[in-house]
Amino acid sequence: MTLVDRHLEFVHALREAGLPVSLAEGLDAVRAIETLGLADRETVRAGYAATVVKREVHRPAFDKIFDLFFPALVGVSGIVHDETVGSEAGLRPFRRGLSELTDLGDGPQDLADFREQLADALALGDQEMLAALAREGVSRFGRIQGRGPGEQRWSSYNVGNRVSPETLVEQILNGLLGETDRDPAEEREVRRAIQRQVDSFNRLVESDVSRRAAEVRGPEYVARHTVRPSIDQLDFTAARKADLAEMRRAIHPLARKLATRMAKQQRARGRGRLDFRKTVRASMQTGGVPVVTHHLPKRPARTDLVVLCDVSGSVANFANFTLMLVFALREQFDRVRAFTFVDEIHEVTDQFRVGADPAETLAELAASAKYASLWGRTSYGRAFTRFHDQFPDALTPRTNLLILGDARSNYTDLALPVFKQMEYEARNVWWLNPEHRRHWGTGDSAAHEYGEIAPMVECRNLTQLTDFVGDLA
C-alpha cells in the first residue's frame, strides 16, 4: 500500500467516524505532511490533527483512528524496546531477545511476576513502562484461540480478567502509605492517583488490542466497529458511566453557549421604539442628518416553564441532563418548575440552587427519585392524573409544558383525557422522547397516542437537546 492510499483510507475512515473532513482539508493535510516529513510519528499526528480535526470533541475518535492507521509498531509480540526502559529495575522480559518472546508463558508464575511489575509501574506512574506492560500483557494473557489455523485474536477482556489491575490498588496503597494509621485525605488522594494509572493501563491495553486487530483485519474494519461517536452525538440511553461524567462536564459550557445565543436572538428580535437621544447623537457624525436610526431594545417576553420528567431507570439519565440544562438556563425563563415521576409525582424545583455543584445536584436528584415512585412501575396515566390533581395551579395560559420520557407506560391506562386537558390549559406542550423515532409505538410505547395530542420530538443526544432548548426560549 502506498502512502497516498494510506492517507486516502485514513481520511475515509475519519469521515466514516463522523468527522467532516473536506477535500480541501485532505489536501492541506497532504501538504502539511509533506513539509513536516514522516520521521516522527507524533509530528505526523500533530500535522494531521491541525489540518483535519477542527473540533476538540472529535479528537478522541481521531486519535483512535490514527493509532490504527499509523501504528507505533508492527508485529505480534512486538516488544521492541530501547534499553533505557526498565533496564535498572530488573525487568527481565524487556531485555529478552525477540526469539524468546514468541513463547511468552501465561502460567500462574508468569501472571504473578507480571502483576508484580505492573504494581511497580502503577505506583511509579511510569507511562512508558505501562505501555510496554500493556503490550506484553496482551501478548501473554489476551490471546483468544484462533478460529482458523494461524489466525490470532486478542481480547482486552481476557487481559482484564486475568491481570485484574483493579485488585492491585489496595496492594499499592499498602506499599506506599503503610498498612496502619493513614491520613484519610492523603489516602483518598493517592487512591485517586493510582486509579488514574489503572485507567490509563486499561486504555493502553484496549488500544493495543485494536492495533493488533487492525493488522489482522485491516484498519478500516476495526475503525468502523470500535470508534465510539463523539460525546455530543452519543445516545443518552447508550452512555456508559465514563460518558455520563463527560456529558455532565459538557452541560455547563453548553448552557453558557446557549445563553449567549439566546441573549443575542432576544436582542435581534424586532426593535422597539426610537431611541431619540442616541439617534441625534449619531446624526452629529453626518452633519446633523439622521442617516442611521437607533432603537431601544424590546422588552423581552419570557415564559414560564414546567418540566415533567420520567425518572424510571431507563430514561433517568436523559431526564436529569435535560433538567440540568434547563436550570442552567433559568434566567432565560420567567419561572421554572420541575416535577419527576415514575407512577407518583414529586416536585424537585428546590433541588436546583443557584451556583450549586452539578454532580451533587444529580446525586440529590437520584436520591429523591424514590418519592416519585409508589410501586416502581412507570405509569404515565397515573402520573398525569396525580399531577393534575395535586398541582392544579401549575399550568397557566403562559406556561410551556415540557414532558420528558419514552412514553413506555407498561400497558397501563394512559389517561388521555387528562393529558388532553393539560394540553388545553398550557400555552404550549412538547414531549421529548429519548428513543429513536423508529422505536416509537413498539411494545408498550404509547408514543403515537400521546404524540397525537402534543408534538413529540426525538431527543437522543446532547446536540438534539441543545437545539431544542435553544428554540424553546
Binding site for another protein (CB under 8 A): 20, 22, 24-25, 28, 31-32, 35-36, 42-43, 46-47, 49-51, 53-56, 59, 183-186, 188-189, 192, 196, 245, 248-249, 252-253, 256-257, 260-261, 264, 285-287, 355-360
Distance separating alpha carbons of residues 150 and 167, to the nearest angstrom: 34
Place of cell 481521531: 62
The 10 Å Cβ neighbour count of residue 442 is: 10
Distance separating alpha carbons of residues 21 and 27, to the nearest angstrom: 10
Distance separating alpha carbons of residues 437 and 64, to the nearest angstrom: 30
Distance separating alpha carbons of residues 424 and 419, to the nearest angstrom: 9
CB of 245 to another protein, least distance (A): 7
Residue 20 or 455 having the CB closest to another protein: 20
Distance separating alpha carbons of residues 375 and 364, to the nearest angstrom: 21
DSSP 234: S
CB of 169 to another protein, least distance (A): 16
Region of 401 please: left (phi>0), alpha (psi -120 to 50) or beta. Answer: beta
CB of 301 to another protein, least distance (A): 22
Residue 300 or 358 having the CB closest to another protein: 358
Place of cell 429513536: 436
Residue 248 or 337 having the CB closest to another protein: 248
Q: What are the b/e assignments for 277-308, b being 16+ CB within 10 Å?
A: eeeeeebeeeeeeeeeebeeeeeeeebbbbbb
Closest CA to 473 of 265, 319, 232, 307: 265
CB of 282 to another protein, least distance (A): 13
CB of 74 to another protein, least distance (A): 23
Residue 197 or 378 having the CB closest to another protein: 197
Residue 49 or 76 having the CB closest to another protein: 49
DSSP 228: P
What nine digits make up the cell of 43? 509530528
CB of 407 to another protein, least distance (A): 31
Q: Do the Cβ atoms of 456 and 450 come closer than 8 Å?
A: yes
Residue 56 or 83 having the CB closest to another protein: 56
Residue 433 or 464 having the CB closest to another protein: 464
What nine digits make up the cell of 251? 452541560
Residue 196 or 298 having the CB closest to another protein: 196
CB of 233 to another protein, least distance (A): 14
CB of 124 to another protein, least distance (A): 15
